[in-house]
Amino acid sequence: MSPQIILPYIYTLLLGSAGAFVASYLGLPAPYLVGPSACVTLGGLLGLRLAVPVLLRNAAFLSVGLSMGSGVTPEVLQAAAAWPASFAMVLVTTVLLLFVAYRILRNVFHYDGVTAMLAACPGHLSYVLSLAAGMKSDLPSVGIIQSVRVLALTLLVPLIVEVNGLATSETLGLPTAVGPLPLLLMALPAAILGFGLLRLRVPAALLVGGMLVSSFAHLGGLVSGPIPQWLQIPVYVVLGSMIGTRFSGVALADLRRALVAGIAVTVLAGSVSASMALLVSTALDVPLAAALIAFAPGGLETMAAMAVIMHADPAYVGTHHILRLVFLSVLMPLVLARRSRS
């Protein structure tokens, strides 16, 4: 590859690694996600061309899926009796967030109907940007508003969990990590399944593939224990860096209106989601940390990694986010078609 292609990759990984080191040194919550997110975002706003290689990004998604699946044990499934009501609440929250944020973007910030609907979507960033690229919309504004939401939730959710003393040092799984050979034997079929799901346009296909294979392996007793730290930490740095690259190449002047709109939508989304999470936690006896991460409309991969880092139930968090993305995959084309006709 030419230097023009490879240098943005190098800059991104150097900034991400530096951010992770500083955040870890300062004792920040979820440092390997928060540090790279903040540091790479700053680099992008200062004008650096930044990017994460597609192959590395896909490997990170697959690894997060394997981590999520390691928390799916028979004991976890026995505690899932209250989840149907929680699933219903996350769908209600998704619809509420979408249409209230749409009204704010339409009536307060005066975006056109299609742009407002795309920017208001509470999650599924890559899918939303793909829809925006194929429709008459303000694509840069959609990208900025959505990226502000993802970045803010990545930074704030672990901080809220940590400050309120909701995180626990108790891990979900056996203390002995999965060995290299079982890890490889899970990764190969997970990658095959993930790319197969990708061809079928399944949301977060590689993560889903990793989670399914790891879940069945752990439930069947073929594998036991969490994914080793030597793999998890670099994966979190890559994911945090990827979030920060959303702002790469965006001029400061173009940020103003969309940035304010993004902050407004994020405050709304965070307030509503936290209220719903508190309601579910109280009514269904779900740990509040898990409910906050499950209901936060951030990126699936990021929130899944957050669940593992903060020792929340990854199965509970992952299934809620996957359900939200599948629901949005069906809902968004319907509401956009109606919006385009009107």
The band of 148, judged by pLDDT with boundaries at 50, 70 and 90, is confident
pLDDT of residue 272: 92
The answer to whether residue 251 scores a pLDDT higher than 70 is no
Q: What is the pLDDT of residues 270-320, one digit of tens each?
A: 899 999 999 999 998 888 888 988 998 887 667 877 787 777 787 788 888
The answer to whether residue 12 scores a pLDDT higher than 90 is yes
pLDDT of residue 204: 67
Mean pLDDT for the stretch of residues 241-261: 77
Q: Which uninterrupted H or E stretch holds 162?
A: helix 139-163
Q: Mean pLDDT score of the chain, rounded to an integer? A: 82
Q: What is d(CA 302, CA 126) in angstroms, rounded to the nearest whole number?
A: 13
Higher-pLDDT residue of 298, 191? 191
Q: Is the pTM of this model over 0.85?
A: no
Q: Which uninterrupted H or E stretch holds 330?
A: helix 314-341
The answer to whether residue 168 scores a pLDDT higher than 60 is no
Q: Letter for the amino acid at 340?
A: S
Reported residue count of the chain is 342
pLDDT of residue 172: 42
Mean pLDDT for the stretch of residues 246-271: 81
Structure token pair of residue 49? 């061309």
pLDDT of residue 171: 44
Confirm if 131 and 336 have CB atoms less than 8 A apart. Answer: yes
Q: How many CB atoms lie within 10 A of CB 253?
A: 7
Q: Work out the percent of the chain whose per-residue pLDDT is above 90.
A: 25
Higher-pLDDT residue of 170, 339? 339
